[in-house]
Chains A and B, each alone.
Chain A
């Protein structure tokens, strides 16, 4: 039996007699339940729909959403995104033939290219998944943290991006999952859903990318199962449009002796939230979380992570960095806002573990804002744990030193911002992405 983890469950059970949340039910009603879907999926959806009916959209009175006000999301009318023609999907040369593309949540075989997929790997949507894969044993089976947006995604699930790597298969090329939102006239919403299974001894690199144009709401859920002694390197690039809303969950379950690394890069969205939740379910599991959030203008980006160590000899190492405000010296107006909350649970069962967490923030504008809360909950007594947070700004003496060598003030600022971001960007195992993100970080291509 799995150890019960004291996840800080978001409890928003409605009081008796209160009517359903109109925003949530409005969205769910638009998600069609087609009759030809498998019975197990119908059952899971119904179960989740029952939760949606009992919950409401969180407000700033809920501890987990204190600094992230969803009222602008709730005030927008979204219609379900329809399949539209999209051209020019950003590709990465390292994965040009191992690429799955979903437009407004719908699989696009035309834009996808799986020519270079080796044997022992399935990447595709739910409809084409061969019978031999027992998806129902994994789908929506991650540790439940009572997250309303995850229930909403499950309840309205129409298709799934599936990546399945068989036992002992080592995948050399990364798999690129592309989720594009394209709106026409009305604000739209889509609910991308991804399931990744790395069987015992498998190894893969995954790039998950979100982008789009216009006003829309993306509610994404990704489940990753890392088998015994398997390894997953996960890069999550969120560069949604600056008018969009993005809420994402990454739920990871690690079996013994497995390794999981996430490099999350949050650049886009008017309001974005990412919840990486990692459960170490076996001994000697290793988890690395590297995060980089870069926001300017009026953007808000929130990362709430949970890592639960439940067995001996586990390690986790987290470094999350935020760069908030105007990158150029002439701009002083940004009210950008970054939120970080990182929980690490080390229960009694998790002896001889090692947990480190650091959140570093760079504030670039007088009106920019950071809320940070590193959080360790330890009940084991033979462990090594550390956590911390720093908030700083660009040092005037550093800028002067660089300017005295001939660099303009903006070039000096960019060099320092680049240096701050580099530590995270260098963790990304795909070289072309490193270059791309560096350029975006400096505001050169946005």
Chain B
């Protein structure tokens, strides 16, 4: 840590350089006045106001949750989808560091950052939903419900958040230019990656296993003893698709950060990821049918919930599987990117189907989120995006730091 004071005669200049991206303060602030930021500001203001209401007046004042629908949008989307869509971190880290597909290195850091922020904001969303969020550490320190799948989820998300932070540390230390620490965290890469894959395998599937305790509540077409496996496999799909989707966004949003990228190389990577996603989607498609066969629920396919199931399985699993395969054959990165959006929507649909849409399918009462639940979810996603942008604009995430030539 003792390196930078010598280089920066004025610590204020150093700070300004880190915070304002080397721009004079006035110019930096003027640069912030954009339509996107204006909308984001409104969302954040509404979100803060709703947070105030949530934490001073309770869940009843902000949600439509009932005794039969104890989990709503904040769990169904913020937590279940959040964790699945943040799976890119472990997928890409293992691809590059363990399986040796080094070409994909440029995608690892953005994937890990998305993963870390994804999990971080999952916990933020969870805090909105928990009755007493200040007791979040209780399962770690006060009272241990070791028979609970939720206990495993809690521990693993906490551990994985730590692991992902360690995995992202190289970018932070390169940004701060602290060579010793950078070198030190470099040694952790393989260990952290292995541990990250283990934790991800377990908690991605554990999120599905939570619903094993709800037979008769989750619709039989979605309830299967293999739901943990389904959640894990579909998380890999979600992770791959999110990395593809991000590569498209980064290209459009962060021009200056990706200017050194060779577009042909990026396209090759995107197509490679599309190929992988296609294969995993096909596996997942087969598994879904094994689930139906195992439960012998063929008759249920010809009910309204059955049509809904068929829509999910054909429209959001098999169709993207074929589209990815077609795009790979045609070597069309654009089609791969389009398909990634469809695939991500499909995973979101699946998580919502399990946790909300088909949940309590034999009751007359239905749950639909209140506007404030949507607003808080949008607020959390927006703050996540703003944080992502803040970091990407400063730290070597999409670009390499010239002082640290790719040590990979």
A-B interaction: no
Interface set of A (CB-CB < 8 Å, partner B)? none
